[in-house]
Amino acid sequence: MIRSTRDEFLTLENALQSELDAAVYKNALLLLRFRACQAVDILFRNLYERTADIGYLSQDADIRHFVTTGGVGGRETIRHRLSEYAQKYSVYRDVVIFATTGEVLARLDAQAPGARSADAFLARALAGAEYVEAFGTFDFLDGARNLVYAQAIRDDQGAAIGVLALVFRFENEMEGIFRDLGAVGMSFMCLSDASGRILASSDETYLEPGKRIPIVEEESGREVSFMGRRFFMVSHRGRPYQSHRGPAWYGHALVPKEYLGETGIRELSDGTLGDVLGYVDVLCPALRSILDSANRVNTALRIVVWNGSVEAIHDHEASREPLKAVLRQIQQAGAETAQAFSDAIGNLITMEVSSYLRTGSDLARLAGNIMDRNLYERSDDCRWWALTSELRAILADPGRGVEDVRRLEGILAEINALYTVYTRLFVFDTAGRVVAASNLHGDNIALRGDMLTDGWVKQTLALTQTRQYVVSPFEPTRLYGGFPSYVYAAAIRSPAHEGEVVGGIGIVFDAGPEFRRMLDDCVPDFAGAYALYVERDSRRVIAGSSGSGLGIGEVVPLDPAFFELMPGQSREALTVFRGQYNVVAAVATNGYREYKTTGDYSNPVISLVVLPIGDPPAASTVRSLLDDQRHEEGRVVEPAHFATVLVAGERYALPAVSVCETITAEGLTPPSMEASPYLAGSAVYRDSTAGGNNMVVHLTVLDARRFFRRGAEQGTGDYIVVIRVQGKLMGLRVDAIDTVITVDAKRIGRANLLAHEQYGFSHEAILPLPESEGVRPILVLDEVFMLRLVESFSALNAQGEPQTPVVRTAQ
């Protein structure tokens, strides 16, 4: 029996090792897949904004006028305008205006080489109606890695009169993306074209741009040979974002095979590990069958050792010591095997939970990153549009008329049609009165003539520099139909006097669907998972993903530690939130480029990702599969032997001389509804113990949990202790068997430690040793009282009361 039990443990350990190997692979795959995807997808989100920029700026009135006049006499003026543009949209390192012949008419970077270009993108831009996206080496730029957006500049009749080119800060942007994603352990990230040529990497000394890297088409990743080493690698083709398909580029993430297991596993505290063991079916489904098998084998081993210890008590003194020694060796061997297995289970659970914690943290950071990158564009837009020449001229004219207002509305509508993340754009005068507004969705909110009294309006009119802007608090506003949103605003200045403010422009961000779309993109494939944006200081919800169940403005009742994070900091934990036990990850947004990083604007936001895993855990402690909980026996002069059991978390004792053995409660038949509340049911039992006759009897079983008013939900009731009292058999249902102890008889004292209605179940207790501080007495259950209780059931049955199982006298 013992050998087969150990063999079963070893078989289970091999199965568990296979699961550990699979978990290492899964953990690495999740880490690499996320980074491969985001290395290119974050870039594509950014490039989508660039396509809107080139379309709008190529039709800028000042630029068109400059090109129409051949650039005569206005080069410095236009360079100043391009400088203003690049100051707002810092993602560009150069802005170039070409004539149709390829001649450079004006550019931001006056030191750049080349007064003319013959590159192919110019002809493509002139021939097409849309923008051109080109990457590589250009004759008017330094370096081999330039990403250029170009579009034809057209006159009022639609004829091409030039080309505008925006030179994206590609290398700088990729450095930021790789830095934000973070390389874990020995992992690397890179971006390549469709042929595998590396365009940028997280470590350019190792993954050098220009070299070729394999492209892994399998979603599950695979091993590849690269630069003389074996790597586990994942590749991801960039996904189109809204209308922008993007170039045929791939994100890659890879880790040397020998470092596959070093992917950021976090240690769990004993308390947390004990809690999550109750959620194996959710967190680690593959472990369920292994745990069930381990518990089954462990139960058999515990019963063998416990029953053997009881049998040793029944034997004569001379023959008992050798048996006790053997049992101690069995118990020690079982404990060592079970502990090793328990540790392996702990490692697997730790790896799985750590994977969820990191996934949550990665996604929460991504959500914050997407928010900051998106709102960065909003701060750029309002400042740039405030420099629109026609807006400035009309607002500065005190005699403007109806046609001027219509022209203002036309300009705003044209912009709004290109930038659909806004529900409306509006301009207001120095008194705060709305002069004109667009209305993207044609709602019934008419703003013209309204007086704006919000604090942010006064702040906007007081701005002194073109680089400054104002953002409203996130609060309900009529500008957004009574719902909360952000309004970005900038001052509009007189074209004649830069220092004179003649009004302002406000842009209303479509917060509801835009924020929800951002968060939905960051929700993991996990049942019930959701994501939130929350104001750090007020702890109020800004937005939630689809199905989050939390309303905008609702206070988030989460541990305050999640809201003490500084920009860029994160916190991940298993915690109770909204009545459930969850994996919760929080990251404090930390801005993008100069947005929220230079003192321009402060608005602390926490992005949260929540993975619900079940009801809150009961208070738990981690126990190995075979704990040795022997009571301190002390010096024994007159021995008294007891078998101890656990009931609803408490330890109780039974006189060992009355105990026959322990069996599992699997075959227990429940009692009728009318039966005594102390009755657990009946069980078919073959009495093969010492003093028995090997006959099959029906055993009446009492429920120890009910003795002390403990409900069935407060214990498992997995075992039945078979007791022989005055020649009669009965059973006692308990949660766990503990050990068999021998103490000095002087430590057995009369003790009334129970409530009055429970007193009959125990009249004695095993008192702790004097030096054992904080140790509670162990109540000794009165087996004779329990027998009388069973006999009273039989007497009631004889009088015609509802039937209960009958106690059979052992022959």
Give the Cβ contact number of residue 559 at 10 Å: 14
Collapsing DSSP to helix, strand or coil, 293 comes out as helix
Average pLDDT value over all residues in the chain = 86
Amino acid at 678: Y
DSSP label of 478: G
Q: Where are the beta strands (DSSP E) in 551-676?
A: 570-577, 580-588, 605-614, 639-647, 650-655, 659-664
> What average pLDDT score do residues 9-20 get?
74
pLDDT in tens, 82-100: 999 999 999 999 999 999 9
| pLDDT for residue 298 | 72
What are the structure tokens assigned to 376, written together?
């960065």
In DSSP terms, 128 is beta-bridged to none
Interval 458-478 mean pLDDT: 97
Lowest-confidence region among 7-21, 27-41, 66-80, 771-785: 7-21
Task: Give me the long-range contacts of 453-461 (CB less than 8 A, separation at least 24).
Answer: 456/487, 456/489, 457/428, 457/432, 457/489, 457/504, 457/506, 458/432, 460/489, 460/490, 460/491, 460/504, 460/506, 461/430, 461/432, 461/491, 461/501, 461/503, 461/504
pLDDT score at 332: 64
Using only the alpha carbons of the chain, give its radius of gyration.
38
Q: pLDDT for 785-808, tens place per residue?
A: 999 888 887 655 544 444 444 443
User: Taking the chain, what is the end-to-end CA distance rounded to the nearest angstrom?
Assistant: 29
Q: What is the pLDDT of residue 718?
A: 85
Residue pair 459/427 in contact by the 8 Å Cβ criterion: no
| Residue 333: pLDDT band with limits 50, 70, 90 | low
Of residues 246, 226, 187, 225, the one with CA closest to residue 29: 187
Q: Are strands 198-201 and 762-766 parallel, antiparallel or unpaired?
A: unpaired
pLDDT tens-digit readout, 165-196: 999 999 999 999 999 998 777 889 999 999 99
pLDDT band at 321 (very low <50, low <70, confident <90, very high): low
CA-wise closest residue to 49 among 78, 92, 2, 14: 92
Q: How large is the average pLDDT for residues 7-19?
A: 73
Taking residues 529-547, what's their average pLDDT? 97
Q: Residue 321: which H helix or E strand, with range?
A: helix 317-385
- Average pLDDT on 462-481 reads 96
Residue 676 or 441, more confident: 441
Task: Point out the least confidently predicted range of 124-128, 279-283, 328-332, 805-809.
Answer: 805-809
Range name among 17-26, 437-446, 627-636, 668-677 with the lowest pLDDT average: 627-636
**pLDDT at res. 793:** 75
Sheet strands (E) in 518-648: 530-535, 541-544, 570-577, 580-588, 605-614, 639-647
DSSP lists the bridge partners of residue 485 as: 475
User: Residue 271: which pLDDT band, with cuts at 50, 70 and 90?
Assistant: low
Q: What percent of the chain has pLDDT over 70?
A: 86
Instruction: List b or e across 299-316, with b for residues whose CB sees 16 or more CB atoms inside 10 angstroms.
Output: bbbbbbbbbbbbbbbeee
CA–CA dist 324, 445 (Å, integer): 88
State the pLDDT at residue 804: 41
Of 739, 730, 736, which is closest to residue 718 (Cα–Cα)? 736
- The pLDDT tens digits for 603-641 are 999 999 999 988 876 543 333 333 433 445 667 888 889
Cα separation of 645 and 721, whole Å?
9
